[in-house]
Structure formats: structure tokens, C-alpha cells
Amino acid sequence: MLKYISAADRYHAAPAAWLSSYFLFSFADYFDRDNLHFGPLRVFNDDSVAPQSGFPQHPHSEMEIVTLVLEGEVTHQDTMGNKTTINAGEVQRMTAGTGLAHSEFNRQDKPLHLYQLWFIPSQRGLAPSYEQKDLAFTTGRKNELVPLVTGQKVLEDVVYMNSNSTIYWANLSEGKEIEFKTFPIRLTFIYVKEGVIFVNGTELGPNDQARMTDEDVMQIRATKDAQFVLIDLPAAEANY
């Protein structure tokens, strides 16, 4: 079954002049009992941060936090001692585990656009940890699903996370098609950044999403050059 959710149905939050966020799941002051998570995917925020502004230090625990930088760069600092810059095309993962705090700022004179995803971890009580890789995902390989972050198996040039899930990115050219095979015991989530794709016959445009259950295969075809995230998730895992 494929559940289509339009861009207009996202929750828009603008708590400050410097921040515009679209929440795909319940977050902060947005609560919907029927939209708390999709498998272990607990948060998917589409954030735009104005120049010379950002998030001051704040705490996290027992969550896998993945940041995909689409445009601009993030200046990151945390209580583990990391002081880094995450550029467009780079991926960051933090295991919050038993507890950490971090800050995220846009120190540039141009806007910052990022996706931040939180996953309920497969294992609790882990020591906090950090990983960052330049995967050039926004401008890299075309017409295939490129794994960015995974906890399912060991792959080269992939960021590890403590979740039985995998985040893929695709740059799909107009007229091209890719196939994603899965199992009915798995879940599949798609969020479109730009362009137009058809997923098993359902059209998705910019900022639309699809949540799929009880499927064996996804046929994905672009009718306009497209970029999108696909996430493979377990249907059943503890502590949801």
C-alpha cells in the first residue's frame, strides 16, 4: 500500500525570523497522534536557515541524528569536542546515546538548506559518537539509488548508524527509471526535493512524500529531472 502525502500537508513552523522548517512528523509544537513516526524514523525536518544565524547548544539522548546538507554549510560544535563544518553534499551522523549537546549555525552570507532525520536506535545506552563524510550526493552518481547512511550492512563510503535502516539518495534524469526491491516486512519512505517522479504509478512532485507498506518492489520513473531521498526501514523494532 502506498500512502501519498502532498507538500501542502506538511506542518510549517517559523518560530524565528531566521528559521523556516517543514515537519514531516510530530515535532516541537506540532503533535499528531497518527503521525508520530514511520517505523524507527521519528523526525524528518526540511530546514532553511538564514545567513548568520542558527541553533544554539541544545541536548539530545537516545537518538540517531542524521543531517544531509543540500545547500550552504553548517558550523557544528558539540560536547564530544567536535568542531566541524559540514558542506553541501556532506552527511553527518551523531549517536546521541547516553547524552550530548551540540550547536548548529549558518556562518555564511547565503541561506542554508538541510534535511535532519532522527531514528529511534536499535540499541539504547550507547556512548555518544560522531561521523561525517563527503559523499557529493547532490551532484554525484546519476540514475541509481546511492546509499548514504546504513545500519544494515557494511558498505564502502557509507556513514554508519545504529538503526536497521538505510538512507538512499537519487539524482534521476527525465525518462529514466530505477527499481527498488524490498519485502512486505519492510517499510519504504520517499521524499522528493525537486522534479517529478512516478512511484508505482503515483505522481510525486517537489516536497511530496510517499510511505509504503506491504510492498515487494518500487518502480520509480522520472518525468522531470528529479532528486529524492528513499529510506528503507524495518516494520517492527523495539521501543517505537
Tell me if 160 is assigned to some domain. Answer: yes
Per-residue pLDDT, 140:
84
- pLDDT beyond 60 at 37: yes
> What's 205's DSSP letter?
-
46-55, 70-79, 153-162: least confident range: 153-162
Binned at pLDDT 50, 70 and 90, residue 153 comes out as confident
Tell me if 240 is assigned to some domain. Answer: no
Tell me if 163 is assigned to some domain. Answer: yes
Residues 6 or more apart in contact with residue 105 via CB below 8 angstroms = 53, 54, 55, 74, 75
pLDDT tens, residue by residue, 123-146: 999 999 999 999 999 998 999 999
Tell me if 239 is assigned to some domain. Answer: no
Query: Of 4, 10, 78, whose CA–CA distance to 44 is shortest?
Result: 10
- pLDDT beyond 80 at 84: yes
Binned at pLDDT 50, 70 and 90, residue 15 comes out as confident
Tell me if 2 is assigned to some domain. Answer: no
Assign 213 to helix, strand or coil: coil
Tell me if 213 is assigned to some domain. Answer: yes
CA 47/CA 112 separation, integer angstroms: 8
- Strands in 41-49's sheet, in edge-to-edge order, are 11-16, 19-23, 41-49, 112-119, 64-71, 90-95, 129-134
Q: What is the mean pLDDT of residues 20-34?
A: 96
Tell me if 140 is assigned to some domain. Answer: yes
Domain count, the chain: 1
CB 137 within 8 A of CB 172: no
Binned at pLDDT 50, 70 and 90, residue 99 comes out as very high
Residues 6 or more apart in contact with residue 187 via CB below 8 angstroms = 38, 39, 211, 212, 213, 232, 233, 234, 235
* CATH number, domain containing residue 120: 2.60.120.10
Q: What is the mean pLDDT of residues 113-126?
A: 97
187: domain range? 7-234
Assign 49 to helix, strand or coil: strand
